[in-house]
Amino acid sequence: MSTNDVIAHSYHPGLDQKSVKVEICIDSYESVKALCSIVGDDGYRIEVCSNLMSGGGLTPSLGLVTQCHNLLTYNAFMIMIRPRTGSFVYGHAEVDTMLHEIAGFRDLGVRGVVLGCLTEDGKVDVPVTRRLVTAAKPLEVTFHRAFDVTNDWRQAFDDIVSIEGIDRILTSGHAKTAFDGASELSQLIAYANDLKHNRKIIITPASGINADNVSHLRELIPDMEEVHLSCGRSVKEEDSEAIRRGVELGFGKGEVWRLDERRLSEFWQVIAGWK
């Protein structure tokens, strides 16, 4: 087993035995603690975001990342760099914000960052993305699901592979879930593995993956090397006068996003059986 990623060895009739690495997405210290209580503190990547209940997650605070970073005995953390919800088209001030955030997390010593920038016509913003990736060196870099908003996945991949320093692409195959996008994901993985690109970029399927369907997804995408999932759910905060008053004043719905320990345990049981 790798010291950096949990590896599930899978076997299906007619398929060679392969391994699949796992990345879990969280937005709270409580979720990281729950994750550690179930699967220990070694062997998986963790994507740290804020506000997973709104638009796919934003840049987390330095305080949260510091707490999480101090919790584990190895470097698991990939940090979302996304200053706001909405489009992935960013102005000069927003790019400067992201550069400052990357510098802070790099100095903290995290494993990597997760980012993605587009142009108004739905293409990868190569100059801006290259600036961010250069600022992140020597960290790992994932290009996130902004990829799914691009208008041509082959062109988007070619643009990404031209930026030295990007290690993987997180994608649902331009679909709502990885299952809906399984055909494109298979094509994309084959395209990424073509030696003409001169370097390896890993394709990481994401969206809608859980214990009930991950084995089927593995059958649909036999060359899949990684999966990304949250195993999370919204949790209603304990009823109190403060919560009720906050809801009345428009400060949210009295809910937070948390790792679902039952869902995670079920998922881990499935991949443990892939031997």
Q: Residue 88 and residue 15: Cα distance in Å, rounded?
A: 38
- Does residue 35 fall inside a structural domain? yes
Contact 132, 95 (CB under 8 A): yes
Closest CA to 98 of 122, 74, 125: 125
Residues of the chain with pLDDT under 70: 1-18, 41-42, 195, 236-254, 273-275
Q: pTM score, two decimals?
A: 0.88
- Does residue 36 fall inside a structural domain? yes
Q: Residue 83 and residue 74: Cα distance in Å, rounded?
A: 27
Does an H or E element contain 69, and which? helix 62-69
Pairing of strands 18-26, 7-10: antiparallel
* Number of domains the chain contains: 1
Q: Residue 255 and residue 235: Cα distance in Å, rounded?
A: 5
CATH number at residue 58: 3.20.20.380
What is the per-residue pLDDT across 127-169, written as a single tens digit (0 to 9) for each? 999 999 999 999 999 999 999 999 999 999 999 999 999 999 9
- Does residue 14 fall inside a structural domain? yes
How far, CA to CA in Å, does 236 sit from each of 64, 120, 243, 252? 21, 38, 10, 11
Give me the percent of the chain exceeding a pLDDT of 70: 84
- Does residue 2 fall inside a structural domain? no
- Does residue 19 fall inside a structural domain? yes
Q: Residue 39 and residue 201: Cα distance in Å, rounded?
A: 27
- Does residue 85 fall inside a structural domain? yes
**First vs last C-alpha separation in the chain:** 13
Q: Residue 127 and residue 124: Cα distance in Å, rounded?
A: 9
pLDDT of residue 257: 72
- Does residue 1 fall inside a structural domain? no
Q: What are 220's two structure tokens?
A: 């649909």
- Does residue 266 fall inside a structural domain? yes
Q: Which domain holds residue 249?
A: 7-272
